[in-house]
């Protein structure tokens, strides 16, 4: 690691991915929970996607709409602002997390309250709003079931759609029994770990908070520039309670969440639920436009959050990450995520999309970043399953390779002297055909000493063996053939003698 690396705490204080992943891999219960959950969601998603003969056309439509939004984002944002103001809402612009958090704190203080209810919002997780509210003496109560489990367990989210995916039913019951009484209504006596019983306990615990709250904070899945309408889709109804009961509603919206018109929403209300939870449609789809006297909140504040998105937009390759609709389909098919879980990524955005979004939001190509952020583009096998699953066709492998090049060019990558020497040797070898032939001949001799057709684990200390040793520590490689194609071709005259 070079002196250019900025020595400051990472996003959530996590070590680089390889180090964090090694610790997570040592947790067999978590691996079992992740495997069961991701395979279940994946099977449901495959079934409902197969019902649509035009699924690929929908994907391409989603890609085209999002690319159009990104191409004319400034104008669409001004259009949205005017529509929201015309409908009685208040629009705020936040360049970064600090500005967004300060705006929320000021609004809550102006209402004279010391607590808010929240519906799950990746944007507020990204800016660490709960910490900012706590520092201001304001309690933030999560109302999404999975997010409530994470909050009560003093944990971190591990998945975009299912933040507590790493917990099983027994663990959730233990958290409810231990923690609910500390912050409100206790869990019922003799609470079982049946899903219905756990959901009922959460419902009773949250009901008093819904009825008492004067201010709610939400995220949003989409915002329609033409009308100023904001949309939240969810499965439990907690979002609708947050969006309708409190007197003041604050929505934090990433600027890339725009859609130009209502007609565009049709595409995404088919893509999102199928990709996220394997459902044909979400149980709850809530939309609101400004305020309506006598119906819902009396004040509506919309905070338009940049927080690095303008920098991402300026990268022709990396900007496709801003198409993301936070469905987590890429997580559910990723072999790396399935084994390490979300915490290893050290970000609110885990998995393949986090590996390309987090480094860009933090500015990997524009200034030195911490070691954890620089490690994320390498947290992938480049198998391409994430691209196949993505409903808006984000070519995640392409962006990963693009970011890896930026990390290496900046002198921040995980390469070492052994890797540099290996690359120089490969370059020398590929400069002359006879050198490649000679190397293949030498490799073929080695095949006579390999058992069972594979090169297994190489027991070299990691600090000595470098990336080659690290690669072989967890993988086998096919043994090279005893005779190279060149030798075979020469010996048989291209197969004529066979």
- Summarize pLDDT for 220-277 with one digit per residue, the tens: 999 999 999 999 999 999 999 999 999 999 999 999 999 999 999 999 999 999 999 9
∠ CA 301-307-310, nearest 5°, is 110
Same domain, 240 and 117: yes
Which helix H or strand E contains 109, and what residues bound it?
helix 97-110
CB 376 within 8 A of CB 17: yes
Q: Which residues pair with 289 in a beta bridge?
A: 229
For 186, which DSSP code? P
CA distance 498 to 495: 5
Residue 115: strand, helix, or coil: strand
Placement of tokens 């969601």 in the chain: 41
pLDDT of residue 12: 55
In the three-class reduction of DSSP (H, G, I as helix; E, B as strand; rest coil), residue 326 is classed as: coil
Assess whether 282 and 425 both reside in one domain. Answer: no
User: How many percent of the chain have pLDDT more than 70?
Assistant: 89
Domain endpoint, select from 271, 288, 309: 309
291/424 same-domain check? no
Mean pLDDT along residues 347-373: 85
Q: Is 181 within the bounds of a domain?
A: no
- What is the model's pTM? 0.85
Residue 388, domain member (yes or no): no
- The rounded distance, in Å, linking the Cα atoms of 64 and 59 is 9
Per the prediction, the chain carries an average pLDDT of 89
- Count how many domains the chain has: 2
- Please determine, for residue 451, whether its predicted confidence score (pLDDT) is greater than 70: no
Q: Is residue 201 part of a domain?
A: no
pLDDT of residue 149: 95
Dihedrals phi, psi of 220, to nearest 5 degrees: -160, 145
404-412 CB contacts, 8 Å cutoff, 24+ apart: 404/377, 404/378, 406/364, 406/365, 407/359, 407/364, 407/374, 407/377, 407/378, 410/4, 410/364, 410/365, 410/368, 411/2, 411/4, 412/1, 412/2, 412/4, 412/5, 412/368, 412/369, 412/371, 412/374
pLDDT computed for residue 491 by the predictor: 87
Residue 341: predicted pLDDT:
93
Give the domain-ending residue among 291, 309, 327.
309
Boundary (domain end) residue, out of 248, 280, 309: 309
The enclosing domain of 82 has a CATH number of 3.40.50.10420
Structural domain of residue 97, as residue ranges?
17-149+213-309
Q: What angle do CA 460, 463, 469 make, to 5 degrees?
A: 40
State the residue for tokens 């684990």: 457
Q: Is residue 471 part of a domain?
A: yes
Helix (H) or strand (E) holding 452: none
In a domain, 26, yes or no: yes
pLDDT bucket at 9, cuts 50 / 70 / 90? very low
Of the ranges 145-154, 424-433, 451-460, which one carries the lowest mean pLDDT score? 451-460
Of the pLDDT bands very low, low, confident and very high (cuts 50, 70, 90), residue 457 is low
pLDDT at 193 over 90: yes
Cα dihedral 308, 313, 316, 320 sign: positive
Task: Assign 23 a pLDDT band (cuts: 50, 70, 90).
Answer: confident
Q: Are residues 424 and 302 in the same domain?
A: no
- 276 assigned to some structural domain: yes
> Tokens 């304001």 label which residue?
138
Is residue 212's pLDDT more than 90? yes
Residue 2 forms part of a structural domain = no
Question: What pLDDT, on a 0 to 100 scale, did the predictor assign at position 6?
Answer: 35
Q: Tell me the Cα Rg of the chain.
A: 26
- The distance of Cα 80 from the centroid of its chain, to the nearest Å, equals 26
DSSP state of 292: B
* Distance of alpha carbon 62 from alpha carbon 267, whole angstroms: 6
In terms of DSSP bridges, do strands 229-234 and 222-224 run parallel, antiparallel, or are they unpaired? antiparallel
**φ, ψ for residue 98 (rounded to 5)?**
-60, -45
CA–CA gap between residue 309 and residue 253 (Å, rounded): 12
Write down the pLDDT at residue 15. 84
Name which residue leads in pLDDT, 444 or 365.
444
Please give the Cα distance from 26 to 464 (Å, whole number).
23
Secondary structure of 15-78 in the HEC alphabet? CCHHHHHHHHHCCHHHHHHHHHHHHHHHHHHHHHHHCCCCHHHHHHHHHHHHHHHHHCHHHHHH
Q: Give domain status of residue 49, yes or no.
A: yes
Average pLDDT over residues 72-82: 98
DSSP 389-419: H-TT---HHHHHHHHHHHHHHTT-SS--HHH
299-344: pLDDT as tens digits: 999 999 999 999 999 999 999 999 999 999 999 999 999 999 999 9
- Tens of pLDDT, residue by residue over 386-412, are 999 999 999 999 999 999 998 888 775
Give me the pLDDT at residue 141, please.
96
């Amino acid at each position: 690691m070079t002196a250019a690396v900025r020595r400051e705490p990472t996003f959530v204080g996590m070590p680089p991915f390889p180090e964090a992943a090694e610790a997570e891999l040592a947790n067999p219960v978590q691996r079992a929970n992740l495997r069961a959950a991701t395979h279940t969601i994946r099977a449901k998603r495959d079934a409902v996607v197969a019902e649509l003969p035009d699924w690929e056309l929908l994907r391409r439509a989603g890609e085209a709409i999002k690319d159009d939004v990104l191409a004319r984002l400034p104008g669409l944002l001004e259009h949205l602002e005017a529509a929201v103001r015309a409908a009685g809402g208040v629009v705020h612009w936040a360049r970064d997390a600090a500005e967004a958090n300060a705006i929320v704190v000021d609004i809550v203080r102006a209402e004279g309250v010391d607590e808010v209810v929240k519906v799950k919002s990746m944007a507020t997780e990204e800016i660490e709003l709960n910490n900012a509210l706590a520092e201001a003496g304001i309690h933030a109560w999560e109302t999404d079931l999975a997010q409530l489990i994470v909050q009560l367990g003093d944990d971190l989210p591990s998945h975009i759609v299912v933040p507590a995916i790493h917990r099983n039913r027994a663990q959730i019951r233990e958290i409810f029994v231990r923690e609910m009484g500390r912050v409100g209504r206790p869990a019922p006596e003799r609470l079982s770990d049946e899903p219905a019983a756990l959901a009922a306990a959460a419902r009773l615990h949250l009901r008093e908070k819904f009825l008492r709250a004067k201010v709610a904070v939400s995220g949003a899945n989409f915002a329609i520039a033409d009308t100023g309408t904001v949309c939240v889709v969810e499965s439990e109804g907690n979002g609708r309670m947050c969006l309708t009961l409190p007197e003041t509603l604050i929505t934090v919206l990433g600027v890339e969440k725009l859609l130009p018109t209502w007609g565009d929403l049709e595409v995404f209300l088919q893509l999102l639920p199928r990709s996220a939870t394997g459902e044909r449609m979400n149980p709850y789809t809530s939309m609101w436009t400004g305020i309506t006297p006598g119906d819902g909140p009396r004040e509506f504040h919309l905070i338009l959050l940049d927080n690095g998105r303008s920098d991402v937009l300026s990268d022709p390759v990396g900007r496709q990450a801003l198409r993301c609709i936070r469905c987590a389909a890429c997580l559910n098919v990723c072999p790396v995520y399935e084994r390490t879980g979300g915490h290893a990524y050290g970000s609110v955005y885990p998995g393949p999309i986090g590996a390309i979004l987090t480094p860009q939001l933090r500015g990997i190509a524009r200034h030195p970043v911490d070691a954890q952020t620089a490690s994320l583009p390498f947290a992938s096998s480049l198998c391409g399953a994430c691209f196949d699953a993505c409903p808006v066709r984000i070519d995640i492998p392409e962006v990963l390779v693009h970011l890896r090049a930026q990390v290496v060019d900046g002198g921040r990558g995980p390469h070492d002297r052994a890797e540099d020497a290996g690359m120089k040797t490969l370059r020398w070898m590929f400069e002359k055909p006879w050198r490649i032939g000679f190397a293949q001949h030498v490799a073929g001799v080695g095949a006579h000493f390999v058992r069972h057709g594979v090169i297994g684990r190489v027991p070299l200390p990691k600090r000595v063996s470098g990336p080659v040793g690290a690669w072989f520590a967890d993988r086998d490689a096919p043994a090279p053939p005893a005779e190279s194609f060149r030798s075979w071709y020469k010996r048989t005259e291209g197969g004529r003698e066979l």
